[in-house]
Amino acid sequence: MYIVTGAAGFVGSNLIRALNERGVRDILAVDNLTQGDKFRNLRDCEIADYMDRAEFRDFVGRGAPGVKPAAVLHQGACADTTEQDGRYMLENNFTYSKELLHWALDRRVPLVYASSASVYGSSRHCAETPDHEGPLNVYAYSKLLFDNYVRRLIPQISTTVVGLRYFNVYGPREAHKGRMASMVWQLYRQLKTTGVARLFEGTDGFDAGEQRRDFVYVGDAVAVNLYFATAPPKQGVFNVGTGMSRSFNDIARILIGLLGRGEVQYIPFPDSLRGKYQSFTESDITRLRAAGYDRAATSLEEGIRQLTEQSGKEGDMISP
């Protein structure tokens, strides 16, 4: 059995589909379906059981009797980077993760969990060391807090405990995320529905639309998860990106080329985001390669092509 938390979410549902494609169907899916529309991400997934997050936390608190999974893929979190309720954020992203970590350690079960490149803040060198880390919001702080908790325990750990610092993941099954969906998906939806891609004017020294991010296709994020879940025991925090930044203008150009229509409109940068926005990210994947993961990253052009092709098969892809 595999346990996937955040199972109805973006990365979680893609993980379950990938496990299904490997012939794995003995999967316990865990999520909170208060946002009921997320069920769409599980419609074509085969699972053995489903638990609400609160029920699962209680189950783990009681030792989860009779359960010893092949691995826990912990994707569940509050991922809203604009959330201001720090208590809520830490309860979801820190306390819940600690509970699952200690249960996995007690059972000697591999744990692979979702961290975030947001921990790097305004750093221009995104490497997994404290001197490059500087969260700009409480979401990023909650992720760094758990990474550091894991780091302190690593000398005592012999099983797999791996944190994956996702850069800007995009791809199928993120329609439910709304304003927190990737820039790739946002621009795709804008161009499909209005013919106009809206990008920010210049900020932080970057020209209009030239803010740059490391955009990683969701299939690559899934592949890294499954690599660590099945590899010999490893511990640590690893970047998950392509190692190359691309501009928002690049995304718009690729999409307009694929769709055969569209234009770009530049809009003022919101005052509410000043000092809290990452205008540049680019992963240093040296540690990931050193850990034995050698699969080439999907190019932005290829990833966007796959996204647009998949959208034709999913009726809810353009839904807000």
Placement of tokens 């499909």 in the chain: 192
Q: Rounded to 5 degrees, what are φ and ψ at 63? A: 90, 0
Placement of tokens 């993980």 in the chain: 15
CA distance 320 to 314: 13
Catalytic residue among 120, 139, 188, 227: 139
* Catalytic residue flag (residue 139): yes
Catalytic residue among 38, 143, 177, 234: 177
CA distance 129 to 102: 24
* Catalytic residue flag (residue 234): no
Q: 280 pairs with which residues across the strands?
A: 212
CA distance 225 to 131: 26
DSSP label of 95: I
CA distance 198 to 196: 6
CA 238, chain centre distance (Å): 13
- Residues annotated catalytic, as ranges: 139, 177
